[in-house]
Amino acid sequence: MSSNDLAARVRNAVRDVPDFPKPGILFKDITPILRDAVLFNDVVDHLTDLFSEQQIDVVAAIESRGFIFGAPLANALGAAFVPIRKPGKLPSERVRVDYELEYGNDAVEAHADAIAPGERVLIVDDVLATGGTAQAAARLVRELKGELVGFCIPIELGFLNGRERLAGIPLHTLLTY
């Protein structure tokens, strides 16, 4: 199946939810993709094909919907899975990166021993919006001395220009709104 056919199937499955999580936001709900076992498997297979020759050591997935795509992708690539979480969610020694949002501040964390120096890391999330969290995740990987191979984010909200914040880092998306 071509990536254009798969992108069309994903576009048809994604549900728009107006005014979530707050008024004025049009939320792109991926749960219909997850409800369709064949479509979800096809998306994971497509992502696997993109990276199967790149010798990925670690798939680092951003909380929480990134975990949904990241875990099966890591398994398919024979790579380790590392969760990148919001503060206070990890039980062991952590490394933290703070970042600014349009409306405040936030942070991401990973275990201090999650990525060994020189390991090749692919960062996964579900949707690229403004790019702030993805950019912070990249800083986190670099702080842990990992080699950032790139980003794999199935859906991109192009009108929010998140790609610009990730300039110079390979970014693979399946579908752009």
Q: Is residue 86 included in any domain, yes or no?
A: yes
Per-residue pLDDT, averaged over 89-104, amounts to 91
pLDDT 10s digits, 18-60: 999 999 999 999 999 999 999 999 999 999 999 999 999 999 9
Counting beta carbons within 10 angstroms of the beta carbon of residue 10, is it exposed (0 to 12), middle (13 to 18) or buried (19 or more)?
Answer: buried
Q: Is residue 10 included in any domain, yes or no?
A: no
Q: Is residue 21 included in any domain, yes or no?
A: no
Options 65, 96, 139, 142, the catalytic residue: 65
Q: Is residue 121 included in any domain, yes or no?
A: yes
Q: Is-catalytic flag, 65?
A: yes
C-alpha span between 86 and 81 (Å, rounded): 16
Options 9, 35, 63, 102, the catalytic residue: 102
In the structure, what pLDDT confidence band is assigned to residue 1 with cuts at 50, 70 and 90?
Answer: confident
Domain CATH for 126 = 3.40.50.2020
**pLDDT for position 104:** 81
Q: Is residue 80 included in any domain, yes or no?
A: yes
Q: Is residue 150 included in any domain, yes or no?
A: yes
Q: Is residue 49 included in any domain, yes or no?
A: no
Q: Is-catalytic flag, 96?
A: no
Residue 8 confidence (pLDDT) above 80: yes
The parent domain of residue 64 ranges over: 54-176
**pLDDT for position 155:** 97
C-alpha span between 30 and 129 (Å, rounded): 14
Q: Is residue 128 included in any domain, yes or no?
A: yes
**pLDDT for position 129:** 93
C-alpha span between 8 and 174 (Å, rounded): 10
Count of domains for the chain: 1
pLDDT 10s digits, 102-134: 678 999 999 999 999 999 999 999 999 999 999
The torsion angles phi and psi of 176, rounded to 5 degrees, stand at: -120, 130
